Amino acid sequence: MIEVSALASGSSGNSFFIESNKSSFLVDAGISCKQAEQRMEMIGKDASALKGIFITHEHTDHIRGVDVLSRKYSIPVFLTKECYSNCSHIVSDSDLVRFVEKNKAFRFNGANILPFPKSHDAHDPVSYTVISNGRKISVMTDIGVVCSNVIKNFRDSNIVFLESNHDVDMLKNGPYPAFLKERILSDGGHLSNYEASLLVLEHTTHKLKHVVLSHLSENNNTEEIALKTMKSLLQHRKDLKKLQIHISGRHEPTELISI
């Protein structure tokens, strides 16, 4: 069995909990150590049991709590060399640093972990898939465009944390300055509700049981709009009628999802 939860997701912080074979780890730790501890406690888990922290990229909302959390519990931190060269301050104890290579899977406490490249305005950004006990979990946020890497790794997943950042009309008509709107809409920015929904519509299989809409913009999206967009497109896939759609939040974790 695999258990997962989005501890937090949004521009203020991102962190995703995964437990398999009684071994737990995080993908990103963009909230404080105290917040991570509290949110894990809310889902009945203990931060002291974490065996790793896997970093997707160096933006603050993904690395804010890494240093304190890793040092407090002696947790190894996994990231690419180029990412580390641009955020080495996040792990003050260099003995805890572990390097990963893009498109090179490795074993981690009984699970297969695959970091794969994506399009985002960061240094060597990656997303992760986790395969364990015949189940596949994918964490796919901070993606500017649905490239072949994203499609390939998304296609046969059972649970996906999927970026559904903004409603395009809200963003275009909203208060953000022009340069920021252009950045979000660019290939180095974030997926819109429609783009996320289209990815599910066109490329998922019946194996997908849960999709967790993640990294929702506080100013350019709402939970209702993101959910409505996804459901509207998926009505054309009768084989996905039992698909469970969840919404991640900024201030509390999602329920613990098991598969």
The string of pLDDT tens digits covering residues 56-100 is 999 999 999 999 999 999 999 999 999 999 998 889 999 999 999
Each residue's pLDDT tens digit, 107-155: 999 999 999 999 999 999 999 999 999 999 999 999 999 999 999 999 9
Question: Among residues of the chain, what percentage have pLDDT more than 90?
Answer: 95
Averaged pLDDT, 234-241: 90
Residues 6+ away with beta carbon under 8 Å from 161? 4, 6, 9, 16, 137, 138, 139, 140, 141, 212, 214, 248
Q: How far apart are CA 42 and CA 234, in angstroms?
A: 32
Residue reference for tokens 């804010």: 64
Burial class (CB in 10 A: 0-12, 13-18, 19+), 249: middle
Question: Among residues of the chain, what percentage have pLDDT more than 70?
Answer: 100
Residue 243 — pLDDT band, cuts 50, 70, 90? very high
Task: Take residue 156 and report the two structure tokens written for it.
Answer: 């046969």
Q: What is the dihedral of CA 251, 27, 73, 101, to 10 degrees?
A: -160
Residue 5 — pLDDT band, cuts 50, 70, 90? very high
List the alpha helices (DSSP H) in 78-177. 81-85, 148-154, 168-172
Structural domains of the chain ordered from first start? 2-258 (3.60.15.10)
Residue reference for tokens 């297969």: 112
pLDDT at 236 over 90: no
The predicted pLDDT at position 21 comes to 84
Q: What is the dihedral of CA 9, 216, 150, 159, to 10 degrees?
A: 60
Each residue's pLDDT tens digit, 149-167: 999 999 999 999 999 999 9
Residues 6+ away with beta carbon under 8 Å from 180? none
Q: How far apart are CA 76 and CA 61, in angstroms?
A: 19
pLDDT at 207 over 90: yes
pLDDT at 248 over 90: yes
Residues 6+ away with beta carbon under 8 Å from 218? 10, 11, 12, 250
Between 89 and 52, the higher pLDDT residue: 52
Averaged pLDDT, 18-43: 96
Residue 22 — pLDDT band, cuts 50, 70, 90? confident
